[in-house]
Amino acid sequence: MKNITQYVKLIFHGHYDTSTPEGRSLERTRNIALTAMSAMLAKIIAMIVPLVTVRLTLSYLGDEIYGLWSTVTSFFTLFAFTDLGLGSGLQTELSKASAHNSKDICKKLVSSTYVMLFSVSTFLIVVFLILFPFVDWATVINAETEKAIALVGGVVLAIVIPKLLNIPLALIQRTQTAMQEGYKNNLWQCSGNFLSLVFVVIIYYMDLGALTMIWASSLITVIVALINMIVYFAFQKPELAPSFKFFDKDISKQMLSTGLKFFVLSIFTSLSLSIDNFIVAHTCSLADVTPYSVMYKIVHLISVVTTMLSTPLWAANGEAMQRGEYAWVKKATKKIMLISLGLSTAASVGVILLIKPALFILSDGVVAPDYPLLSVMCLMQIVTSITSPYFMTLNAAGIIKYQIVTYAIYALISLPLKFVLGEHFGMLAITWVGVITYALLLTIPTIYQAKKHIKDKMRLKPLLEE
């Protein structure tokens, strides 16, 4: 609680003098606190607004079309990887460049990344529009009724086109995070949620049609990102505004190299952490997936909170490392880890105490709490909350290959074990395998490597200064 109070005081202090190490330290901490707390506000709003919009959209669209919408959205989740890791690469390289106040390099980094992703987005849109008329979308999405078949093509367009348009526009979030201004993007996300609510209410009461509602809901992210980008580059950071004139081939090659590493890492991360429902369905039964997934959704909120705290550390550590201020990196990473540990532990206790009424509200009493399973799920969130700040340190240092190797080993060992032990001992074994293998194969190696990197750099610093 004392640490949280200190962060609140930092927020209301205003900008610190960054010409001194002490001032830079306080300014970094202030930006981390601002970003973390604004992210928490954005998440709370993002959780509350859907309580209204889901009720309205479900009532307006009906079960059938709402299900079609959800199915198409899930089918095209693969677009999460279409930025080829360039967003993460920009966040890493731009945070380093900002430490040297090199406006020319920063502008080239931003411009080169935007040009590459605008090219990717344009290419994918053209290819999609060419192929679209030749695909039997009703068969692909498994639309069976006359109404669903009539709307499926329009729904696919309403989901895919905004996702493709948002590939380059989403870079504004990475840019602001790299410049330690992630709180600005979080506030724009808050406005986006309110705008989404306004659009849904207007369409609902004016009866503008199912496709209009789906298009509006899909385009909100694009509209907010575009406005954020215009405001940021035109008025707040014009020196970073992307321009074709500043596209640099060498920097583009460097960005692609870094980005592709993050791309591979994201694939292994998603593969190893996001298919437990699939494993439960195949080793237990489809009926077991419902209680497992519902409880996991509740427990997963714990990691959302701790991730909000550790993510701003990525850019702050990158900037500090470029200045050689590794003592700050060491202290800040440890502090964020301890706060994350405290928050995740307290949140886990709260989840266990409140799970019964929460499940009753969410499932109308259909899902009963499984306390042994729930406890292990909470333990997993605690372990990941400890590890996350050290992942941010490795990201900031550009140590990506090491993470790819450790995640690959984790996936190759944990996934088969989950299948084998899940068949013999059920869902609880699947969750225990996740916790134990994560701690042994990811947490311990990640913390060791991050601490070793910091220690080595601190030992070399006096020699370099001589």
**DSSP labels for 59-110?**
HHHHHHHHHHHHHHHHHTGGGGGTTTTHHHHHHHHHHHHHHTT-HHHHHHHH
Cβ proximity of 359 and 295 under 8 Å: yes
CB-based contacts of 49: which residues, under 8 Å, 6+ apart? 193, 194, 196, 197
Which of 156, 75, 162, 77 has the alpha carbon at shortest distance from 121? 162
> 194 — phi, psi (to 5°)?
-65, -40
**Closest among 300, 291, 220 to 43, alpha carbons compared:** 300
Per-residue pLDDT of the chain (466 residues; tens, 9 = 90+): 555 566 566 666 677 878 888 888 888 988 888 888 888 888 888 777 876 787 788 888 887 888 888 777 766 766 667 788 999 999 999 999 998 878 899 999 999 999 999 999 999 999 999 999 999 998 888 787 888 889 999 999 999 999 999 999 999 999 999 999 999 999 999 999 999 999 999 999 999 999 999 999 999 999 999 999 999 999 999 999 999 999 999 999 999 999 999 999 988 888 787 778 778 878 887 677 778 877 888 888 888 777 888 989 999 999 999 999 999 999 999 999 999 999 999 999 999 999 888 887 766 677 788 999 999 999 999 999 999 999 999 999 999 999 999 999 999 999 999 999 999 988 999 999 999 999 999 999 999 999 999 999 988 765 445 4
Main-chain phi, psi angles of 179, to 5 degrees: -85, 10
pTM: 0.86
User: How large is the angle between the packed helices 171-178 and 103-131, nearest 10 degrees?
Assistant: 160
**Cα angle for residues 58, 62, 67 (degrees, 5° grid):** 80
How far apart are alpha carbons 66 and 55 in whole angstroms? 11
Helix (H) or strand (E) holding 293: helix 286-322
Residue labelled with tokens 């729904």? 155
Write the Ramachandran bin of 143: left for phi over 0, alpha for psi from -120 to 50, otherwise beta: beta
Q: Report how far apart the first and last C-alpha atoms of the chain are (Å, whole number).
A: 42
* Residues 95 and 270 sit within 8 Å (Cβ to Cβ): no
Identity of the amino acid at 341: L
Contact present, 172 and 185 (Cβ < 8 Å) = yes
Encoded amino acid at 333, one letter: T
Domain definitions of the chain by residue range: 1-248, 275-458
